[in-house]
Amino acid sequence: MPSCVHGNSRGSGSKGRPRASVTSPGLSRHSRLPLRRNAPCRKDDVTVGAPAAHGWETDWERAPEPTLARGSAQPVCEYPGRRPPGDPMASEGLTGALAAVLAGQGPSVQSCDSAPAGEPPVPVRLRKNVCYVVLAVFLSEQDEVLLIQEAKRECRGSWYLPAGRMEPGETIVEALQREVKEEAGLHCEPETLLSVEERGPSWVRFVFLARPTGGILKTSKEADAESLQAAWYPRSSLPTPLRAHDILHLVELAAQYRQQARHPVILPQELPCDLVCQRLVVTFTSAQTVWVLVGTVGIPHLPVTACGLDPVEQRGGMKMAILRLLQECLTLHHLVVEIKGLLGLQHLGRDHSDGICLNVLVTVAFRSPGIQDEPPKIRGENFFWWKVTEEDLQSQLLKRLQGSSVVPVNR
């Protein structure tokens, strides 16, 4: 682990912007599908509220209307090359894709429905324009926490959870296992993703609940540049000084999950992606009916939005990419948008494929509830609302929405 600052280090900035294309399995590295580009969503265009309990509640009172690329006022889906929302073939594909995403899986990223304005996006690269950090929380049956003692000069002697930056060519799980072995001397397996923390698209930390599977706990006699030692401490009596107090919340989050799991087991899915992007499950509910926003460019699909690495999207965080896409297709000043959390995570790491795709659950609701039973009107022709009629899928969606059974995303 080359740096002591696991918890708040940031990846180096990039002067470039992501190229407007992504790869998918079955395509060569030179065969790329184009992104659709629409109007930008600038930071100055929106007023963002404080974090809600399980997401972000966003104030759009002062948000101007977006400029539409193709200007239709109706959700036009019945045009050449696209299936209308009632097409049974479209619904069958959407049902499978949504079921996979709710199960923590999902299709590979083939293109994006929204991208930052300006220059086309360039592929992200670890150590160049993005930094990913892994962190492990271990809890023993005796309610003890595994901590490591830092060896780096800036924080030598302080205690922290095993953590460190990912290296190029690693999967997320491989990076987690390497860091734990280097710092604590133990082999491990992740049990589930606990949370994701971000400081904009160029710095993302993946927090896992993990369990030891072997190895020998590192002692002070084995001190090296990675750590001075590792030790188990009671959760109620952690050693001092701590390198940073951000780990206290993570330890409690792990303890709560052990006591009562709020979301299913979620582990990274190894699929290639060139960009930092988000696949959205945007829902509108009325009574016991659920609608899901669907993109129509190509075959009907859950929409994908690319995150920009420019200063505006860095400051606003990864939620800016979500708000940008929604602003392109909905009239938002009378809506409340809440980002609930993650349903899954995709990353490969091999073959210079350093991008990530986060599957994100989002809700859209009217500011005056109860006045409408139908979802808000679509602007333009690139999206439509799909009414989920399959009972099991509808039940799963309602359960995830009502119980907030998602992985939290924190800033």
Residues 400, 403: Cα–Cα separation, whole Å = 5
Q: DSSP assignment of 40-104, as one string?
A: ---GGG-EEEEEETTEEEEE-TTPPPPPPSS--SS----STTS--TT-HHHHHHHHHHHHHHHTT
Cβ contacts of residue 305 below 8 Å, gap of 6+?
Answer: 112, 113, 114, 115, 277, 278, 280, 321, 322, 324, 325
pLDDT at 312: 86
Alpha carbons 169 and 148: distance in angstroms, whole number: 25
pLDDT computed for residue 398 by the predictor: 92
Tell me what pLDDT residue 122 has: 85
Residue 352: per-residue pLDDT? 83
How far apart are alpha carbons 68 and 88 in whole angstroms?
Answer: 29
Cα-Cα-Cα-Cα dihedral sign, residues 159, 209, 281, 345: positive
Distance CA 95, CA 104 (A): 14
Give yes or no for a contact between 230 and 139, defined as CB atoms under 8 angstroms apart.
no
Q: Tell me what pLDDT residue 403 has.
A: 75
> Nearest-CA neighbor of 318 among 305, 328, 331?
305
- Let me know: does 229 contact 223? Beta carbons within 8 Å: yes
* pLDDT one-digit tens code per residue, 10-64: 333 333 333 333 333 333 333 333 333 333 333 333 222 333 333 333 333 333 3
Query: Helical H runs in 269-318?
Result: 311-316
- Give the Cβ contact number of residue 308 at 10 Å: 28
- List the pLDDT tens digit at each of the 411 positions of the chain: 434 444 443 333 333 333 333 333 333 333 333 333 333 333 333 222 333 333 333 333 333 333 333 333 333 232 223 444 444 445 568 999 999 999 999 999 989 999 998 878 889 999 999 999 999 999 999 999 999 999 999 999 999 999 999 999 999 999 999 999 999 999 999 999 999 999 999 999 999 999 999 999 999 999 999 999 999 999 999 999 999 999 999 999 999 999 999 899 999 999 999 999 999 999 999 887 999 999 999 999 999 999 999 888 889 999 999 999 999 999 999 999 999 999 999 999 988 899 999 999 999 999 886 667 899 999 999 999 999 999 999 999 999 998 779 999 998
**pTM of this structure:** 0.79
| Closest by CA position to 202, among listed 304, 273, 271, 276 | 276
pLDDT for 61: 31
